[in-house]
Amino acid sequence: MAAENEASQESALGAYSPVDYMSITSFPRLPEDEPAPAAPLRGRKDEDAFLGDPDTDPDSFLKSARLQRLPSSSSEMGSQDGSPLRETRKDPFSAAAAECSCRQDGLTVIVTACLTFATGVTVALVMQIYFGDPQIFQQGAVVTDASSCTALGMEVLSKQGSSVDAAVAAALCLGIVAPHSSGLGGGGVMLVHDIRRNESHLIDFRESAPGALREEALQRSWDTKPGLLVGVPGMVKGLHEAHQLYGRLPWSQVLAFAAAVAQDGFNVTHDLAHALAEQLPPNASDRFLDTFLPLGHPPLPGSLLRRPDLAEVLDILGTSGPAAFYNGGNLTLEMVAEAQHAGGVITEEDFSNYSALTEKPVCGVYRGHLVLSPPPPHTGPALISALNILEGFNLTSLVSREQALHWVAETLKIALALASRLGDPVYDSTITESMDDMLSKVEAANFRGHISDSQAAPAPLLPVYELDGAPT
């Protein structure tokens, strides 16, 4: 009876002991003709209950497990004459072994499923990192000439707008808040650099001369006919081009940010108040005075100014795109009429012919850094030339500031003289050659050789042509 109980326990543990599965499966086999035990082997449920019985003494459990392992550790079964165990040809645990086999298959399925799932999740995460929108708002910075436009740029970034979206909104905002320095009727240049790809594009939306503009007309009456000074504005096409290349938010949404500034009003900046007080254009029209001096005198810094007219223009541009500005609509007709009324020669055709240029910036290497700047007709090459000249001086923190200032002054004289030779390369092929010279380190070393460490040059080293004759 004790042996039967032991066999019963043995079978129970043989199938489910957590101690050593391989050892247990090498237990001595029982004979096929072994009489059925008085107490039947426990069924699966009973065994589960046994193993799961919280009242089972853990010490006796382990003791019995050790006892059952003893025979299997013997290499000579026949020497155990006193043992109640006999050799058998049939595995009494065949059912249990088959069950184990099934359980092994189940384990394989589970492991395979887990691995597949984990691989899928990993691949999805990697793809999200590289191709998806950033889930964590990282660092960024915006700087503009007006705090309200800086805040607007930050707002665009916070709404998952791209850097170019933020720049476009901020630039339009400046056209509202700082009308003395920029606006829809002007132009500019934008340099965009992609850090990851090390790619740069320059979008040049500088104004171009009207088709009917002649030097003689300007020479004769530029100061009495302000309409002659009006070039074809590039701002709208340039910003739209930048947005087409790099925008993430819809064009209409980006313009709506700026339109809200014009509609809701803004605080007059110190700079605008100063310009309205001291730099009003000569013969300012009634419309100009009504718009910017609504109370009849220059506004104080901080006072509220609204521009619902510009809000409406921005809404139209947001809906219709640059075509509303350039393709002969009301906005085009108004600008042409206003300029022609003031002696200008600009036409609707000039507007429809205008296009912003997308090109590569000029670049130079200065002390291990790549410096990117606009090509002609902008004076980026002169800036790089100045850096190339300065690179050869022993400019360190050990050199006195005064000595460094002297070198800088002499270098800038050369760079500015070089800048005065530049112009639009589309109209003069020699400008490309001048530009190549300016970017050359050898040429820079040549210029540096003409700079004295102790004396300012009495006369310019290079011929100087007219530079910024008018205040900008």
Partner 1 sequence: AAQVLVMGPDDFIVAMVSSLNRPFGSGLLTPSGILLNSQMLDFSWPNRTANHSAPSLENSVQPGKRPLSFLLPTVVRPAEGLCGTYLALGANGAARGLSGLTQVLLNVLTLNRNLSDSLARGRLHPDLQSNLLQVDSEFTEEEIEFLEARGHHVEKVDVLSWVHGSRRTNTFIIGVKDPRSPDAAGATIL
Residues of this chain, 258-287, that bind partner 1 according to CB under 8 A: 269-272, 275, 279-285, 287
Q: What binding mask, one character per residue, do residues 341-360 give for partner 1 by CB under 8 A, x or -?
A: -x----------x-------
Residue 265: Cβ-neighbour burial (10 angstroms; 0-12, 13-18, 19+) = middle
- From candidates 2, 38, 143, 295, binder to partner 1 by CB under 8 A: 143
Residue 218 binding partner 1, by CB under 8 A = yes
Residue 200 binding partner 1, by CB under 8 A = yes
- From candidates 32, 34, 99, 334, binder to partner 1 by CB under 8 A: 334
Closer residue to partner 1 (CB): 92 or 238: 238
Alpha-carbon distance 255 to 252, whole Å?
5
Footprint (CB under 8 A) of partner 1, residues 52-91: none
Residue 297 binding partner 1, by CB under 8 A = no
HSE-CB for 155 with a 13 A CA cutoff: 17
Return the number of other C-beta atoms located less than 10 Å from residue 168's C-beta: 28
- Please state the closest distance from residue 252 (CB atom) to partner 1, in A: 18
Give me the torsion for CA of 386, 391, 397, 403, rounded to 10°: -60
Residue 362: closest CA among 341, 383, 342: 383
Q: Establish whether the linkage from the previous residue to 37 is cis, with ω within 30° of 0.
A: no
Residue 150 binding partner 1, by CB under 8 A = yes
- Please state the closest distance from residue 125 (CB atom) to partner 1, in A: 19
Alpha-carbon distance 411 to 434, whole Å?
17
**Residue 315 structure tokens:** 């809404």
- Please state the closest distance from residue 467 (CB atom) to partner 1, in A: 5
**Residue 164 structure tokens:** 């170019």
Strand pairing category for 357-359 and 362-366: unpaired
- Please state the closest distance from residue 307 (CB atom) to partner 1, in A: 6
Please work out the total of residues on this chain that contact partner 1, with binding judged by CB under 8 A: 165
Alpha-carbon distance 28 to 26, whole Å?
6
Binding segment toward partner 1, per CB under 8 A, in 19-27, 53-61, 74-82, 230-238: 230-238
Closer residue to partner 1 (CB): 105 or 290: 290
- Please state the closest distance from residue 472 (CB atom) to partner 1, in A: 4
Angle among Cα 175, 179, 181 to the nearest 5 degrees reads: 90
Residue 182 binding partner 1, by CB under 8 A = yes
Please report where in the chains the tokens 């609707």 appear, as a residue: 348
- From candidates 70, 98, 300, 426, binder to partner 1 by CB under 8 A: 426
Q: Positive or negative CA dihedral for 69, 70, 73, 75?
A: negative
Task: Give the number of residues written for the chain.
Answer: 472
Binding segment toward partner 1, per CB under 8 A, in 16-24, 46-54, 117-125, 183-191: 183-191
CA distance to 156, 235, 382, per residue, from 253 (Å): 10, 18, 38
Amino acid letter, 281:
P
Q: Are 339 and 227 in contact (CB under 8 A)?
A: yes
Residue 429 binding partner 1, by CB under 8 A = no
Alpha-carbon distance 203 to 236, whole Å?
12
- From candidates 12, 24, 184, 439, binder to partner 1 by CB under 8 A: 184
Amino acid letter, 445:
A
Footprint (CB under 8 A) of partner 1, residues 110-139: 134, 137-139
Amino acid letter, 233:
P
Residue 304 binding partner 1, by CB under 8 A = no
- From candidates 8, 208, 254, 299, binder to partner 1 by CB under 8 A: 208
- Please state the closest distance from residue 176 (CB atom) to partner 1, in A: 9
Closer residue to partner 1 (CB): 28 or 265: 265
Amino acid letter, 266:
F
Binding segment toward partner 1, per CB under 8 A, in 12-20, 53-61, 107-115, 463-471: 463-471
Q: Are 196 and 131 in contact (CB under 8 A)?
A: no
Closer residue to partner 1 (CB): 100 or 229: 229
Footprint (CB under 8 A) of partner 1, residues 373-412: 373-374, 376-380, 382-383, 386-387, 390, 395-397, 401-402, 404-406, 408-409, 411-412
Residue 422 binding partner 1, by CB under 8 A = yes
Residue 227 binding partner 1, by CB under 8 A = yes
- Please state the closest distance from residue 121 (CB atom) to partner 1, in A: 25
CA distance to 146, 386, 445, per residue, from 399 (Å): 37, 19, 20
- From candidates 68, 204, 237, 322, binder to partner 1 by CB under 8 A: 204
Closer residue to partner 1 (CB): 21 or 465: 465
Q: Are 204 and 359 in contact (CB under 8 A)?
A: yes
Binding segment toward partner 1, per CB under 8 A, in 50-58, 85-93, 124-132, 224-232: 224-232
